Structure 1
Amino acid sequence: MDDFLFSDEPADVVEPEKVGAWKVIIVDDEPEVHAVTKLALSDFEFQNKRLEFISAYSGEEAKKVVDSHPDAAVVLLDVVMESDDAGLQVAKYIREVAKNNHIRIILRTGQPGQAPERQVIVNYDINDYKSKTELTAQKLFTVVMSSLRSYRDILAIDQSRQGLEKIIKASRDIFATHSIESFIEGVLQQLTSLLGTVDQAMYATSLAAGKEAGQSNDQLVVFAGRGEFESSEGKPIAEVLSSDQMDACLKALQEKDIVYKDNYLFAYCSSDYNHASMLFVSGIPEFLTETQRHLIDIFAQNMQLAYENVQLQAEIEDTQQELVIRLSEALELHSTNTGNHVKRVAYLCHALAKEIGLSDKEAELVKMASPLHDVGKVGIPDAILNKPSKLTDEEWKVMQTHTEKGFELLKDSRREIVSAGALIARDHHEKWDGSGYPKGKKGDEIHLYGRIVALADVYDALRHKRCYKEAWSKEDAQREITAQRGKHFDPTLVDVFNRCINELESILQRFPD
């Protein structure tokens, strides 16, 4: 009988170190049960992790513990405590209220008649049912080990699901400028779930640094990571890897292959272009199957392909943006010779759009479309456009038509940037109080893009020298913009302008005339 778990003389238990441990919740109203359970499992180890015990002595206390430790792996749950079905109510609470479907519930009872096994198994979502009299130390070890394996597999499946969701979501717009971040994050998560015990991963590429690949490690920059590498984005890998890891990385880079060492690996990601990328994964199992090794190889190549596709899309968008800016600058140079005005306005618009709450996509759209605001001036005679003296009333009426000419020129495009440019060209000279042109629109009748460009355009003009005036100081320009709150400009936008004035000033300094 010495092998029975519930002996008469429970011993004091020294808790294992609670670092990287599996959490086990013990729920029982008898303190000696807690002590003996801890003693029986004191040397338990699974995948190099010990057990961390958390005790609860009633059903109500157990509910609080479950809420406080949603990452617990196993709960050893007594049935009869403050009431005959207290444990069953805890089991119901875990699944239906706490919505915790991961934790493995092992029901233990000293009074099987109070909760018949068949009835309990059918009516409650538990994973095992044991009578205390049959639970020897060996049987307890076995049931906890099998429960932890199930818990591990459930977590792997859930991580796999989450990874697949991110990959599917990113795949819908894989060529969008910002989708690569979520795509790589999802791929990393998927890979780590497939390998089972991975705890850290990192993807580094020379593309992130804008350099071509060679054998020099300082050209590889961390692009995405999990674990301790999450905060390493943008850093050269030499700054985040140990010397041994760096040696393995260089070997993988030189051999253009996958290098396995200790509990980590480096996978070289091949490329059709002269770029290098590296996938690092640590905490891998001691023995990898051929299937797992094959998956690693596929993931490494697909990640590089996806990254390069998005880089190509980004290059196309950057080229498109530069083309729009250069054409607009050519028009500005022809008419007013205002240097980097178009480029500054684009970046000012982006900052204002972000600060007022537009999404990254919309802010980028305003930035890319804003250079088209004066495109209608191509239809204005040079004699009026370049007249050094004040325009006559008739000439001013002709000048004002550039807004509608720009709108008519751009409005029928199916391209998002050009369509946004049409709205901006039409509305950027309207004023909040209705005194602008061409339609005398008021308030929200003016498209938000037009309101943003109007403020950015005026602010930049005030801050720079023109043939008819000197450059205004930051304080004078800010005072004038604020004075036009609710008159020329959207009041909310003026408030946003004042909040981010320092950021706007830094943009002006980046692109001087």
Structure 2
Amino acid sequence: MSDEILFAEDIDEEIELQGKWKILIVDDEPEVHAVTKLALGDFVFQDKDLEFISAFDGEEAKTMFREHDDIAVVLLDVVMETDDAGLKVAEFIRNEMNNHFTRIILRTGQPGQAPEKDVIINYDINDYKSKTELTAQKLFSVVISALRSYRDIIVIEENRHGLEKIISASADLFSIHSLESFIEGIVQQLASLIGGTKDTAYLTSAVAGPRPIEQYNSSELYVFTGRGEYQDKEGNRLEEVISGRELISCQHAYTNKTMVYEDEYLVVYCDSKTQKGSLLYMSGLPRKLTKTDKHLVEMFSKNVQIAFDNVLLNKDIEDTQREIIERLADAIETSYGSQNHTQRMIKICEILGRAAGLSENDLKTLSLAVPLYDIGKIRISDNIMLNPGSLNKEEILEVRNHAQIGYNLLKDSNRPLIKTAALIARDHHEYWNGKGYPKGKSGQGIHIFCRITSLADAFDAMRSERSYKEAWPLEKVMDVIAAEKGQQFDPKMVEYLHENIDEIESIMHTLA
């Protein structure tokens, strides 16, 4: 990414002017409070003045720290209600509050009560001063030094937290393997970084997105996916969804490979080593962004594109895998006069699986594995498979053997997907009542993938035309399935079929 970053004028200055430096004065003498405030009354550091908080004993000081987590400096008396009250407050700040940011300056009117050497060694304080030596000028110098230290520590801490967020956000994005989840990951992690955005769009020239684009031009940017205002804009050109000043900013960011930030929106160029870069556009920002915010978003954007490239690669591999499996299955089924059977099986199994509460990962596995459920038929004689008449006992046994043949063809693979396909190939003819084949499994002992495939296959076989029969009417098919509920078929699967029959019938007509 280019080192150039374009920001709206004076944004950083306005942010830095916000707030005040909180100074806690802890002393049991009211005069000390008054003199301190008078001496530092005109104090300004980095365009921020001071906000004084007063506590007159150790317990009150502890209360102030519980109520204020952004105290920059504490001017702490040692001897108050007890000889070591101030030292106990110092211990409380560091140990109980776990506050290692506030700068602690001990001020004592009785140095003998708390010798400087002992205090510096035994307590985590930052300075030790006798009240008699703290002239107005020296007090000014001490506070300036303490505030510089506090400022630097806070910057380091913010950067540390920012780095943790970047690592966490990047890890979450790299764990995403679907395009559908990609933008969700971006929005979620941006919310973590900058507090969320109202509208987000991810624009790229690499893919057309979920919706087809007519006359796709690889030199243009399209909304790949979005949220808020851009949720329904997938596939639209950049110029169709963003206009005016925002469009100019997007074009500038893309051309110059940079980031453009204005009060209401942010455009980030996401560089890619494998293809043209993309844009991440966010509007409706919840607040003005600090320098740290901008730096974190810039770092995050670099990982966004890497993650997106990985998602595309994963999708390409998955699509290739699916196409090979489906083409093989189609070749087998078409030979036996059952065109589009594979596609219908995938859709019906997905419907039944979703109704049964399968996870998205399980649904994906099922849809990839189920096309191979009848692969064993390639070893069955065409004379039998294409026979329009009745089969004799020997021929029936040979046809039934396709389940074991399919399992044997696939079982030796080390790939989980192929192992799942092997299981489905073998057990999709097992019956709920245990009277199926080849193993005679029953009930829950039959894997749910196989129970789903069994019903989907039977429904499609009855409802579609084959070389040896006409398609059966829906009413007749449902009567047969109802009669086999709890016998051949899982009763729950039969219920899911009834509940989703309209959607399934639509698939049957579409893929007839």
TM-score class, shorter: 0.5 to 0.7
Does the 8 Å CA contact 2:173/2:304 hold for their aligned counterparts? no
* Cα shift at 1:384: 2.8
RCO (CA 8 Å, sep 6+): is it higher in 1 or 2? 2
Matches within 5 A, 1:334-413: 334-337=335-338, 339-353=339-353, 356=356, 358-413=358-413
Q: Which residue of 2 aligns with 1:207?
A: 206
| TM-score, with length taken from structure 2 | 0.63
| 1:501 matched residue in structure 2 | 500
Counterpart in the other structure of 1:7: none
> Over alpha carbons, which structure has the higher Rg?
2
CA drift of 1:436 comes to: 1.5
Look up the equivalent residue of 2:166 and give its one-letter code.
Answer: G
* 1:349-397 Cα distance to aligned partner (Å, 9 max, x none): 3454456555543331221110001111122223332333444443322
Matches within 5 A, 1:90-489: 92-95=95-98, 104-105=101-102, 146-147=149-150, 149-167=152-170, 177=178, 181=182, 185=186, 203-210=202-209, 212-213=216-217, 216=220, 219-222=222-225, 234=234, 243-253=244-254, 255=255, 257-258=257-258, 260=260, 266-267=268-269, 269=271, 277-280=278-281, 304=305, 307-337=308-338, 339-353=339-353, 356=356, 358-461=358-461, 467=469, 470-472=472-474, 477=478, 480=481, 484-485=485-486, 487-489=487-489
Residue 329 of structure 1 deviates from its aligned partner by 2.5
In 2, Cα distance between equivalents of 1:305 and 1:376: 41
Decide whether the 8 Å contact of 1:46 with 1:145 is kept in 2: no
TM superposition score normalised by structure 1:
0.63
Could you say what secondary structure the match of 1:209 adopts?
Answer: coil
Deviation at 1:205, TM superposition (A): 1.2
- Could you tell me whether the CA contact under 8 Å between 1:74 and 1:147 is conserved in 2? no
Would you say the 8 A contact 1:213–1:276 is kept in 2?
A: no
Instruction: Give the deviation of 1:446 after TM superposition.
Output: 2.5
* C-alpha spacing 1:76/1:308, structure 2 compared with 1 (3 Å): same
1:286 offset after TM fit, Å?
7.5
1:482 is displaced (CA, Å) by: 10
- 1:430·1:438 contact (CA, 8 Å) conserved in 2? yes
Deviations 1:6-32 (A, max 9, x none): xxxxxxxxxxx9xx97998989999x9
Tell me the CA shift for residue 304 of structure 1: 4.6
Q: Distance in 2 between matches of 1:489 and 1:25?
A: 76
* Cα distance, 1:325 vs structure 2: 1.7
Quote the offset at 1:86 in angstroms. 7.5
Look up the equivalent residue of 1:316 and give its one-letter code. I
Question: Can you list the C-alpha shifts for 1:243-264, whole angstroms capped at 9, x where unaligned?
Answer: 21211212444x4643656575
Quick one: structure 1 residues 94 and 445, their matched pair in 2 at CA, closer, same or farther if it must change by over 3 Å?
Answer: farther
Instruction: State how far apart, in whole Å, the 2-side matches of 1:482 and 1:46 are.
Output: 83
- Structure 2 distance, partners of 1:240, 1:128, is 56
Residue 170 of structure 1 contacts residue 182 of structure 1 at CA under 8 Å; is this kept in 2? Answer: no
What amino acid sits opposite 2:224 in the alignment?
V
Moved more, 351-360 or 126-135: 126-135
**RMSD (CA atoms):** 6.0
Matched to 2:507, the amino acid is: L
The amino acid that maps onto 2:365 is: L
Paired residue secondary structure (1:278): strand
Q: 1:435, 1:25 → 2: CA distance?
A: 83
The one-letter amino acid of 1:408's match is N
Question: How far did residue 331 of structure 1 move?
Answer: 2.2
Q: 1:335: how far off?
A: 2.3
TM superposition shift of 1:301: 7.4
Amino acid paired to 1:204: L
Task: Tell me, yes or no, if the aligned pair for 2:233 and 2:241 is still in contact at 8 Å.
Answer: no
Aligned partner of 2:405: which letter?
A: K
Shift of 1:407: 0.8
List per-residue Cα deviations over 1:122-165 (Å, max 9, x = no partner): 788x7868999889799778756753553343232223234235
User: Offset of 1:504 from its aligned partner?
Assistant: 5.5
CA displacement, residues 194-227 of structure 1 (integer Å, 9 cap, x when unaligned): xxx898786421335346545655x23346x9xx
Q: Aligned partner of 1:160: which letter?
A: L
Superposed CA offset, 1:253-312 (max 9, x none): 4x4643656575553746765x562245896768999xx89x96x987775565345424
Cα 1:128–1:444 change in 2 (3 A) is farther
Contact 2:463 2:471 in 1 (8 A): no
CA distance change for structure 1 residues 278 and 507 in 2, over 3 Å: closer, same or farther?
A: farther
Q: Which letter maps to 2:251? A: L
Residue type matched to 1:470 in 2? W
Tell me the secondary structure at the aligned position of residue 220 of structure 1: strand
Report if aligned partners of 2:201, 2:223 keep a CA contact under 8 Å in 1. no
Unmatched segments (≥5 aa) in structure 1: 1-16, 67-71, 96-100
Contact 1:464–1:471, Cα closer than 8 Å, also in 2: no
Assess, with a 3 A threshold, how the Cα gap between structure 1 residues 470 and 165 changes in structure 2: closer, same or farther. Answer: same
Distance 1:139 1:184 in 2: 47
Preserved CA contact (<8 Å) 1:369 1:418: yes
Secondary structure at the aligned position of 1:418 is classed as helix
The structural deviation recorded for 1:106 is 5.5
SS in 1 for 2:474: coil
With over 3 angstroms needed to count, the CA separation of the structure-2 counterparts of 1:240 and 1:182, relative to structure 1, is closer
Distance in 2 between residues matched to 1:27 and 1:391, nearest whole Å: 99
| Structure 2: distance between partners of 1:142 and 1:43 | 13
Alpha carbons of structure 1 residues 42 and 334: separation in structure 2 relative to 1, 3 Å: farther
Equivalent-residue separation in structure 2 for 1:481 and 1:27 (angstroms):
83
The whole-number CA distance in structure 2 between the counterparts of 1:330 and 1:411 is 21
Q: Deviations over 1:306-358 (max 9, x none)?
A: 53454244223213212322332332233252x43321322333454456555
How many angstroms does 1:450 deviate by? 1.9
One-letter amino acid of the counterpart of residue 435, structure 1: K
Could you tell me whether the CA contact under 8 Å between 1:105 and 1:127 is conserved in 2?
no
Query: Closer, same or farther in 2 for the Cα pair 1:374/1:92, shift >3 Å?
Result: same
* Number of equivalences: 454
TM-superposed deviation, 1:399: 1.8
Tell me, in whole angstroms, the C-alpha distance in 1 between the residues paired with 2:309 and 2:143.
52
Identify if the C-alpha distance between structure 1 residues 24 and 507 changes in structure 2 by more than 3 Å, giving closer, same or farther.
farther
User: In the alignment, is the contact (CA less than 8 A) between 2:349 and 2:452 conserved in 1?
Assistant: yes
**Mapped contact 1:269–1:301 kept (Cα < 8 A):** yes
For the Cα contact (< 8 Å) 2:208–2:235, is it kept in 1?
no
The whole-number CA distance in structure 2 between the counterparts of 1:207 and 1:269 is: 12
Task: Label 1:299 to 1:145 Cα distance change in 2 as closer, same or farther (>3 A).
Answer: same
Letter paired with 1:402: H
Q: Residue type matched to 1:472 in 2? A: L
